[in-house]
Amino acid sequence: MGHPVTEGYFVKYRGCVWAVKGCRHPEGFAVAVPRKCGEVKVKKLSDSIALVRLKFPELIRYDPIIGYEVPMVPLRDAEVLDPFEAEVNDPLAREFMGLLKGKVGVTGSLLYDSRHNDMDFLSFDESHYLALRKLRESGITGPLTEAREEEAEALTVDCFKKLKAIRVLEGTFRGTPYTFKIVKCVDEAPVLRTSTVEGTFKITGLVKPYSLPVIYAAEGPLKGFLKSYRIRFTELPEGLELRVKARAFVRENGFIEVNLDTAERVECAQKT
């Protein structure tokens, strides 16, 4: 394995394929959620967590840096699926990867399933964002303009659709949808305390807007940062206002963040 497990990797464990989530993984474990069990796919994060609590409750543990309970899969009992060591048989995926310089891996169903309707890619190289921007500007890729209600989760469908359409990390290539994750981990201090916040946040600074985790300076019920590991919250524009009900974390180094990934609600408060 060429890289420690991180966002974009998958593992096979006890009859399920699990998606590795985030950058924080205690020694010997992968923080992960089930994506496919047998022939059943689990798309919503909330459904994945509910499945773990029902079928694998012994995996759930508190992590002081993540700041809440998460499923931890023991790597000694799992098979790691490395996106950068996978054999890519799909000709369209190979063509897309050939448009980008540097190291690109495949993730999602391209990595763990022979059947797929879209293409998911993984990179640790932030320069790939500029390459994706050029592909969009030249018309080689197009925007995603459709959104299903079951995809939106905490977001309203209208907000989800508008934000999806402006991203280059998601789009279409020769009519096939693609998602491109760029992961660049950051150092994090342990969580000191948490609280629930609700209100309208305005993005005032694009600290890290396209590599995961994305981080935005924001002002609202508190002054701090919005943070997410999900593609749906990448490339948010400065000035965007979001109505949010979520958990806020104060870290030992004074960093204050609002976690959009586990938010109860995220809505666009203005036109995007």
Q: How confident is the model at residue 272 (pLDDT cuts 50, 70, 90)?
A: very low
Cα–Cα distance, 38 to 161 (Å, whole number)? 30
pLDDT of amino acid 52: 96
Cα–Cα distance, 213 to 112 (Å, whole number)? 23
At the fourth CATH level, the homologous superfamily of domain 191-268 is Nucleic acid-binding proteins (2.40.50.140)
Q: What is the DSSP string of 187-245?
A: --PPEEEEEEEEEEEEEEEEEE-SSBSEEEEEESSSEEEEEESSGGGTTPPTT-EEEEE
User: Which residue has better confidence, 50 or 149?
Assistant: 50
List, by residue range, all CATH 2.40.50.140 domains of the chain.
191-268
- Model confidence pLDDT, tens digit, residues 226-267: 999 999 999 999 999 999 999 999 999 999 999 999 898 888
| Lowest-confidence pick of 49-53, 155-159, 245-249 | 155-159
